Amino acid sequence: MAIASSMRELTQDIASSHEDRMKTVGQIKEETERLSRDTRNLIKSLQSSRSETGRQLGEDLSCNRAARISAVKKMRSDVQGIMTDLQASRIKESAQLRKEFAQGVDDRRASVHATLGDTRQTVSALQSQRQESGAKLRQELAESRADRESAAGTLIQAARYLVRDLDKSRQDMGKKLREYLARSSADRESKVKEMHDEFRRFRAEVRSDMDQARIAWQELIGGTRLSTMAPPPESTKRKAKGIPRIEEETPALEAKLILAIWEHPEGITLAEVAKNLDVAPIVLGRVSRTLLDKAKIRKEGKLYFPMTGE
């Protein structure tokens, strides 16, 4: 019953909406026809207005033609008068310019003659001054030649002394440098030997620690096997699945990492150690942080070095 009533209401709504749409369509048609009529009327009025405007413009142009012709003739006569005045003024100004130019040429000629006379006097004075300066300079050069020769001899003697002192200083420095290198070589050999002894001692300690860790690990494995006789609860199984095997091998990885770093006293990166040991770098990262905290190794940049001072 509810479905039937809903269907009736839906049918009534559809019928009423259809009537509304038809009514709206009729209104739109009426509005469209009205707009079309208004548009046609507007076009007709524009056409009539354009015709009237064209006729009015034609009448205005016919009336103003005589006035335009008269204005053009007047402008032409005015231009001819201006051109005549300009030509007369140009002739007058040209005559004045020629007169002024002729007078200016005479003035410039007189000025050039005066400047030329002054220049000759200046050149003559410069020549006499140059001759006097040359004679004085030659006299001073002749007087100072002996002084220059004496100064040159003094400089040569001082240079010889300086070269001799430098040669002696170089020999002394070479002797001291050879002695220092000999002492440094002996010190380096002693330090290298000490490092080798330290490395062998540390390797023996690491091997001993590895043996002890292996024994402890075996004991731990044995105890774990005995404890697995009883089935563990589900919560313990879930936790055991999440424990990585890497934590069980931490003592062995620490020993391997320390040995790898001791084999490269010049320094080695963690990626190279991981590649040599076939271990993931992230695992060695945790182990290296543990060893750094324990002061077993030291780090400079990306390189790891053994702690020789232990």
Tokens of 135: 């004679």
Is 302 inside a domain boundary?
A: yes
Instruction: Give the pLDDT of residue 214.
Output: 73
Whether the model pTM is above 0.75: no
Number of residues in the chain: 310
Is 154 inside a domain boundary?
A: no
Is 299 within 8 Å of 305 (Cβ atoms)?
yes
Cα torsion at 111, 114, 115, 121 (round to 10°)?
180
φ/ψ (deg, to 5) at 308: -75, -15
Domain containing 240 — which CATH number?
A: 1.10.10
Is 53 inside a domain boundary?
A: no
Instruction: Give the pLDDT of residue 241.
Output: 42
Residue (of 254, 304, 296) closest to 279 by Cα position: 254
pLDDT, one tens digit for every residue, the chain (310 residues): 567 777 777 777 787 777 778 888 888 988 888 888 888 888 888 888 888 888 887 777 777 777 778 877 888 888 888 888 888 888 888 888 888 777 777 777 777 778 887 888 888 888 888 888 878 888 887 777 767 677 767 777 877 777 787 777 778 777 777 776 777 667 777 776 777 777 777 777 777 777 777 776 776 666 554 444 444 444 444 434 443 444 445 678 888 888 888 888 888 998 898 888 888 888 888 888 888 988 888 899 889 998 865 4
**For residue 65, what is the enclosing H or E element?**
helix 2-227
Q: What is the DSSP letter of 288?
A: H
Q: Which position has the token pair 């030997």?
A: 193
Instruction: Give the pLDDT of residue 47.
Output: 85
Is 261 within 8 Å of 298 (Cβ atoms)?
no
Sorted by sequence, the CB contacts under 8 Å of residue 251 that are 6+ apart come out as 209, 210, 213, 217
Tokens of 149: 């020769």
SS3 37: helix
Q: How many distinct structural domains can be found in the chain?
A: 2
Is 91 inside a domain boundary?
A: yes
Number of other residues whose CB lies within 10 A of the CB of residue 62: 9
Full domain range(s) for residue 223: 196-306
CA–CA separation, 286 and 284 (whole Å): 5
CA–CA separation, 42 and 48 (whole Å): 10
Is 95 inside a domain boundary?
A: yes
Tokens of 211: 């043996």
Is 157 inside a domain boundary?
A: no
SS3 269: strand
Across the chain, where does the E strand assignment appear?
268-269, 297-300, 303-306
Is 151 inside a domain boundary?
A: no
Instruction: Give the pLDDT of residue 239.
Output: 39
Is 174 inside a domain boundary?
A: no
